[in-house]
Chains A and B, each alone.
With several copies, the nearest count.
Chain A
Amino acid sequence: MAIREAEPVGSLREVKEAGLDREDLLGIYRNMVITRGIEERGHILYKQGKIPGSFYTGRGNEASAVGVATAMGANDVGTPLHRDMGVHVTRGVEPWRIFAQYMGRSDGPTHGRDGNVHMADSNLGLLAMVSHLPAMLPVAVGCALAFRIREENRVAVGWYGEGASARGDAHEAMNFAGVRQLPVVFICDNNQWAYSTPTHLEYACEHLADRAQAYGFDGVVVDGTDVLAVYREAKRAIEKARTGGGPTLIESLTLRMEGHAVHDDAFYVPKEMFEEWAKSDPIERYRSWLNAHADMTQDEEDEILGGVKRLLNEALARAEESPLPDAGKLTDGVFATPEDLDTPHHK
């Protein structure tokens, strides 16, 4: 039971060993660009008054989210949070549906009933987050429990922030997962702030990954701006869980590069901290790596960026055409009917 600090990823060879070919590598880049693009466009929509309520982004967390999601198998499931847009993108949620979600339209995954990243497509193996942090961790553990009972080779991935690590749900989930050695991987997105609260007011150990010891499984700290290192660690942990090796806690270190939400200018974050972390912007960092190690050409890059631009333009247009939800149906579906169980899981 050792807490490990993961090495950065150096070479293409290393990455190949971890199971990624060149096409995968470019796909990861594309997913990161889409992720940031969705949130940047969302921000504009918000300023245009087209997004009701509040608005959150995960800038700085693209590598972490996409890296983990890339490591997940098709039948694995996960409970991503408000900084993990990259998970939805990587699992294949179409961007226009996300814009529709932002704007409260009927084609968003929650059909205008919930907003922001409070959504998921359960057909893609994702469970919609609730605001209450980290209430989805026990739920992720429950998914793993189902896999264990049925002896399926599937893994559940549960996300939480370093701030949310203070809540009892994190403890109960990890303790139970450890006792039963369930196939679950915990991803702690440690972006160093919980709203305005710095880490030393949230926890008093050095690394949150240290806590894995308290629950009888492995912990590892990874640089969350290094998408390939995140991928490698997530892959290891997921395959370990899949083969009966029990849970892993991965602490992914980043900085939240914007305010908590759109209304927050993050005045409390030291400027130098932003400057320092801006140097390891996950997308820039990965782009350089692709140039240096995977010979990504300018043409390839342009094609990706251009393609993403088109995708998002079309997505926006399509989302704006999505109708507002019908208020007459407000009270439908408070309770499920047997037909609702017609999902891949309930067969």
Chain B
Amino acid sequence: MAEKTYLQAISDGLREEMRRDKRVFVIGEDVGVYGGAFKVTLGFQEEFGAWRVIDAPLSETAIVGGCTGAAIMGMRPVAEMQFADFISCAWDQLVTVAAKQRWRAGTPVPITVRLPSGGGFSGGPFHSQNPESSFAHIPGLKVICPATPEDAKGLLASAIQDPNPCLYFEHKHLYRRIKAEVPDERYETPFGKARVHQEGDDLSVITWGAMVYTAEEAAQQLDGDDVSVEILDLRTLIPWDKQAVLESVRKTSKVLVLHEDTHTGGFGGEIAATIAEEAFEDLDAPVKRITAPDTPVPFSPGLEKAFIPQVEDVVAGLRDLAAY
């Protein structure tokens, strides 16, 4: 075990997959000599050559469509979007071709798309988005949102080996800020299994990605309140671990769904609706959602702070719930 940043865990995990499986290749803008905008693939081209670490033209559709073709021919492509925001330029390839090909035509499309996502550094409306909810609505796509270095590595290995199109959202705000022990050996972290980030009895927070840490800080601030908060990190949205969520709700009877993406139509709605439908009788309070408001992501730091759910917002939400 070694302590690694979230970023290093992704980078090491990817390198390991490339070493053990010749079918894996990386393609994206500036992933070669430059090592990618966030340096995840730094040194990869030297090790694996220019045909396994491919500098693509500025062509998200060609990148994702190209990965789809290569995957159908037996490769295990890993595409890097320079920022998750730019995946909008490959939306059609993902929802029309990759997502539906297995179901329609029996052809699996084992691709992984790495998506540096999330805000917190004044990236503005086009370098800060969390578009996971949009994809979670499309049958046939898997949606992965690791929060810890350990999961970042294990979920990436699973994504690459999974026979389906996997959207791997790596949160930029965690890249260098989050550091933790990561097993040295190779392992795969299974999809659809939530992680109990912190156990508790009185309130449940269901969340993923960077918000796991916001929830943790908020829970710490409630220490004096004599309420114990359970934090469930979903880890993957598709599939999502409904069982674990319902179990936590059954235990605490009060639940907060928290995400960094915008409110209306965000995946929090799906979770809250499912809880309301399937754990109705276990609830002692309305299912609360805390999310970003329905605006683009703002640039100016004060605005961005008002946009991204903050520790104090979560504290207030938890107190409301506790008092209900």
**Are B60 and A167 in contact, CB atoms less than 8 angstroms apart?**
yes
- Write out the residue numbers on chain B whose beta carbons fall within 8 Å of the beta carbon of A144: 69
The yes or no answer to B43 lying at the interface (CB within 8 A) is: no
For B64-101 the 0/1 string (1 means CB < 8 A from A) is: 11111111111101000011011011001100110011
**Are B62 and A346 in contact, CB atoms less than 8 angstroms apart?**
no
**Are B107 and A197 in contact, CB atoms less than 8 angstroms apart?**
no
**Are B140 and A334 in contact, CB atoms less than 8 angstroms apart?**
yes
- Write out the residue numbers on chain A whose beta carbons fall within 8 Å of the beta carbon of B57: 163, 166, 172, 175-176, 179, 194, 197, 201-203
The number of chain A residues with a CB under 8 A from chain B is 77
Smallest CB separation, B277 vs chain A (Å): 19
The yes or no answer to A77 lying at the interface (CB within 8 A) is: yes
Partner of B34, one of A141, A145, A146, A195: A195
**Are B75 and A268 in contact, CB atoms less than 8 angstroms apart?**
no
**Are A138 and B299 in contact, CB atoms less than 8 angstroms apart?**
no
**Are A175 and B105 in contact, CB atoms less than 8 angstroms apart?**
no
- Write out the residue numbers on chain B whose beta carbons fall within 8 Å of the beta carbon of A343: 74
Q: Which of A59-79 contact B (CB under 8 A)?
A: 77
The yes or no answer to A246 lying at the interface (CB within 8 A) is: no
The yes or no answer to A234 lying at the interface (CB within 8 A) is: no
Smallest CB separation, B195 vs chain A (Å): 22
The yes or no answer to A345 lying at the interface (CB within 8 A) is: yes
- Write out the residue numbers on chain B whose beta carbons fall within 8 Å of the beta carbon of A337: 163
The yes or no answer to A38 lying at the interface (CB within 8 A) is: no
How many contacts A-B (CB < 8 Å)?
Answer: 270
**Are B69 and A141 in contact, CB atoms less than 8 angstroms apart?**
yes
**Are A148 and B51 in contact, CB atoms less than 8 angstroms apart?**
yes
A53, A54, A148, A202 — most chain B CB neighbours (10 Å) = A53
- Write out the residue numbers on chain B whose beta carbons fall within 8 Å of the beta carbon of A118: 104, 124-126, 299
**Are B74 and A142 in contact, CB atoms less than 8 angstroms apart?**
no
Smallest CB separation, A247 vs chain B (Å): 13
- Write out the residue numbers on chain A whose beta carbons fall within 8 Å of the beta carbon of B299: 52-53, 104, 110, 112-115, 118
Binding site for B on A (CB under 8 A): 52-54, 77, 104-105, 109-110, 112-116, 118-120, 122, 127-128, 130-133, 135-150, 156, 163-164, 166-169, 172-173, 175-176, 179, 194-197, 201-203, 268, 324-325, 327-328, 330-331, 333-338, 340-341, 343, 345-347
**Are B124 and A156 in contact, CB atoms less than 8 angstroms apart?**
no
- Write out the residue numbers on chain B whose beta carbons fall within 8 Å of the beta carbon of A150: 75
**Are A145 and B70 in contact, CB atoms less than 8 angstroms apart?**
yes
B34, B61, B89 — most chain A CB neighbours (10 Å) = B61
- Report the Cα distance A131→B128, complex, angstroms: 11
Partner of B74, one of A115, A127, A338, A345: A345
- Write out the residue numbers on chain B whose beta carbons fall within 8 Å of the beta carbon of A168: 59, 61, 89
**Are B61 and A138 in contact, CB atoms less than 8 angstroms apart?**
yes
Smallest CB separation, A290 vs chain B (Å): 35
The number of chain B residues with a CB under 8 A from chain A is 77
Do A137 and B65 contact each other (CB < 8 Å), given the known contacts A132-B89, A331-B295?
yes
Smallest CB separation, B3 vs chain A (Å): 25
Q: Can you pick out 27 interface pairs between chain A and chain B where the beta carbons lie within 8 Å of each other?
A: A52-B301, A53-B121, A112-B302, A113-B103, A113-B104, A118-B299, A120-B105, A122-B72, A127-B107, A131-B83, A139-B65, A139-B69, A140-B69, A142-B65, A142-B69, A142-B71, A142-B72, A167-B59, A172-B65, A173-B62, A175-B59, A195-B37, A196-B32, A197-B29, A331-B294, A335-B140, A336-B163
Do A139 and B124 contact each other (CB < 8 Å), given the known contacts A112-B300, A172-B59?
no
- Report the Cα distance A130→B124, complex, angstroms: 11
- Write out the residue numbers on chain B whose beta carbons fall within 8 Å of the beta carbon of A338: 163
The yes or no answer to B33 lying at the interface (CB within 8 A) is: yes
Q: Which of B281-312 contact A (CB under 8 A)?
A: 293-296, 298-303, 305-307
Partner of B85, one of A119, A131, A136, A203: A131
Partner of A345, one of B73, B100, B126: B73
Q: Which residue of B lies closest to A156 (CB)?
A: B69
Partner of A77, one of B73, B302, B303: B73
- Write out the residue numbers on chain A whose beta carbons fall within 8 Å of the beta carbon of B104: 110, 113-114, 118, 128
Partner of B306, one of A105, A131, A140, A327: A327
- Report the Cα distance A347→B251, complex, angstroms: 46
The yes or no answer to B180 lying at the interface (CB within 8 A) is: no
**Are B105 and A110 in contact, CB atoms less than 8 angstroms apart?**
yes
- Write out the residue numbers on chain A whose beta carbons fall within 8 Å of the beta carbon of B56: 176, 201
Smallest CB separation, B67 vs chain A (Å): 6
Q: Which residue of A lies closest to B238 (CB)?
A: A335
- Report the Cα distance A254→B55, complex, angstroms: 22
- Report the Cα distance A328→B302, complex, angstroms: 10
The yes or no answer to B146 lying at the interface (CB within 8 A) is: no
Contacts A112-B303, A114-B298, A336-B110 aside, 10 further interface pairs with beta carbons under 8 A come to A52-B121, A113-B125, A113-B296, A118-B126, A119-B105, A128-B101, A136-B97, A138-B65, A140-B69, A149-B51
The yes or no answer to B30 lying at the interface (CB within 8 A) is: yes
- Write out the residue numbers on chain B whose beta carbons fall within 8 Å of the beta carbon of A145: 54, 66, 69-70
> What are the nearest 6 A-B pairs in CB distance?
A142-B69, A138-B65, A104-B300, A112-B300, A131-B126, A336-B108
The yes or no answer to B235 lying at the interface (CB within 8 A) is: no
- Report the Cα distance A333→B109, complex, angstroms: 12
**Are A327 and B294 in contact, CB atoms less than 8 angstroms apart?**
no
The yes or no answer to B183 lying at the interface (CB within 8 A) is: no
**Are B105 and A122 in contact, CB atoms less than 8 angstroms apart?**
yes
The yes or no answer to B130 lying at the interface (CB within 8 A) is: no
**Are B62 and A127 in contact, CB atoms less than 8 angstroms apart?**
no
A112, A172, A203, A325 — most chain B CB neighbours (10 Å) = A172
- Report the Cα distance A113→B52, complex, angstroms: 35
**Are A143 and B72 in contact, CB atoms less than 8 angstroms apart?**
yes
- Write out the residue numbers on chain A whose beta carbons fall within 8 Å of the beta carbon of B68: 138-139, 142
- Report the Cα distance A338→B161, complex, angstroms: 9
- Report the Cα distance A148→B305, complex, angstroms: 44
- Write out the residue numbers on chain B whose beta carbons fall within 8 Å of the beta carbon of A119: 105
**Are B59 and A131 in contact, CB atoms less than 8 angstroms apart?**
no
- Report the Cα distance A343→B72, complex, angstroms: 10
